[in-house]
Amino acid sequence: MLQSRSGRLALCAFLAGIAASGCTSSKSSNPLSPTVAGPLPGVEITAPKPVNPTGGTRVTAEQQPVTLKVENASSNGPRALSYTFEVAVDSGFSSVVFAREGIAPGEGTTSLRLPDALQSDRAYYWRARAQDGANTGPFSGPANFNVVTAIVIGQPTLVSPSPNAHVTTLRPKLVIGNVQRSGSAGPMSYLVEISNTDSFASKLDIVASEQPNQTSVDLTQDLVPNTYFFWRVRASDPTTIGPWSATLAFLTPAVAVTPTPPGTPGPGGPVPPDAIDLAEARVFNSPQDVASWAATSKLTRLDLMPSGAHVESSKQDAWPDVRPPGWDGPLLYTLWIVLKINGEWQTSGCIQYWRGLYENGGPVSQYGQNWYYDPVRWGPMAGYQPYPGEQVGFFITAGDARNNGMNIVHERSNVVVVPFPGSGGGRFNF
């Protein structure tokens, strides 16, 4: 039967509606379709992990705008992830200063560089989360960083001693003018370097905390007498180191020593006179008045061998033990050497002995490198190795004589002079 034209149009419209309905139903069942609304059942997205900046990182103006970086989230769903980043001035994110969605993921990590610099001198918190268009993962835990004004530390000024001053003590007080600084600088400290050369190849280091207006530094040991010393300073806080100051020099005083008193009898009989007048010797890094100590013991034996130095005296077991601070064993005496260098006697106590220790000091051929190795402490004695046959003095003192150690008993032996042996060593009885 033939249909009217209007009937045919109505049928076509009906069939077109059925086709359109069928197409819509098929399209909405595709989970990859961007028009899917609502979460897909069973899909789980993890939180991304903040990588940088974290842990209160300090960000300066030169490092802005800040780049946020996370370790990618994971998902068991079929859809690709994108990321949302938020930055706030509080850990609860009630005051968000920046937010952006739809950040495409990177390979393993995802980064976002903020479009503008953040305000300086305040803390910021940031977080991120991933979503696939139908499902949204949780935010990461908040990470924090601080935007700070860059720290600049100025150059210290050396106030005292003045340039090329002749100081009156072997432990001069060093005075430093405090540095100028800008930015969020922390507690300031000063590193002082002292050396007998302007190259500072060998030096004494002292660190002092800043004091109001000027910072004073007290030396912890005597410097070598009659010697020019160079010194310089730089300041630092926990994150930034400033430049060195100018280098200045000062001259330490010569130390006058009273003559040796007459020897007093000991357990082994009268003490022989000194073979060297210690009052004429320059003393380094040891008590400066050693020449005035009573000579109560005489040396009876001295072995200078490849295995070490052994010494005996008439008061070998009579001097009381003297224990310096920090020492937990019995210290009995210190062996000194007396060297003539450039026509002048030089001396210092360096090798310690105690009851039960037979020998010490290392091979006779290595005294120059083992005994007096630091030019700051031992001046011309540093590195000096006596040649075989050279006349060298030896004596011992009660207690600790190293580094101007604390001596409770101001007693010593007589000074003997022996021809220095070769590498095979030598034994001497007195």
CATH of the domain at 65: 2.60.40.10
Q: Are residues 131 and 179 in the same domain?
A: no
Q: Are residues 229 and 356 in the same domain?
A: no
Give tens-digit pLDDT for 234-282: 999 998 999 999 999 999 887 554 444 444 444 455 789 999 999 999 9
How many domains does the structure of the chain reveal? Answer: 3
Q: Give the separation between CA 382 and CA 196, rounded to whole angstroms.
A: 12
Lookup result for tokens 């008061």: 315
Residue 364, domain extent: 278-429
Lookup result for tokens 């009156």: 168
Name 98's Cβ contacts closer than 8 Å, sequence gap at least 6: 85, 86, 87, 114
Q: Give the separation between CA 170 and CA 385, rounded to whole angstroms.
A: 26
- Kind of pairing between the strands at 228-236 and 189-195: antiparallel
- 257 φ, ψ (degrees, to nearest 5): -120, 135
Q: Are residues 94 and 214 in the same domain?
A: no
* Structure confidence at residue 332 as a pLDDT band (50, 70, 90): confident
Q: Are residues 296 and 238 in the same domain?
A: no
Give tens-digit pLDDT for 58-107: 898 888 999 999 999 999 998 999 999 999 999 999 999 999 999 999 99
In a domain, 292, yes or no: yes
Q: Are residues 108 and 197 in the same domain?
A: no
Q: Are residues 308 and 387 in the same domain?
A: yes
In a domain, 9, yes or no: no
DSSP run (H or E) holding 23? helix 5-28
In a domain, 265, yes or no: no
In a domain, 82, yes or no: yes
Q: Give the separation between CA 413 and CA 407, rounded to whole angstroms.
A: 15
Q: Which of 233, 251, 269 is the last residue of a domain?
A: 251
Q: Which residues pair with 412 in a beta bridge?
A: 295, 397
Q: Are residues 138 and 159 in the same domain?
A: no
Q: Give the separation between CA 232 and CA 347, rounded to whole angstroms.
A: 29
Cβ-contact 344, 353 below 8 angstroms: no
Q: Are residues 129 and 184 in the same domain?
A: no
In a domain, 368, yes or no: yes
Q: Are residues 200 and 141 in the same domain?
A: no
pTM confidence score: 0.45
325: how many CB neighbours lie within 10 A of its CB?
7
Q: Are residues 410 and 353 in the same domain?
A: yes
Q: Give the separation between CA 374 and CA 314, rounded to whole angstroms.
A: 32
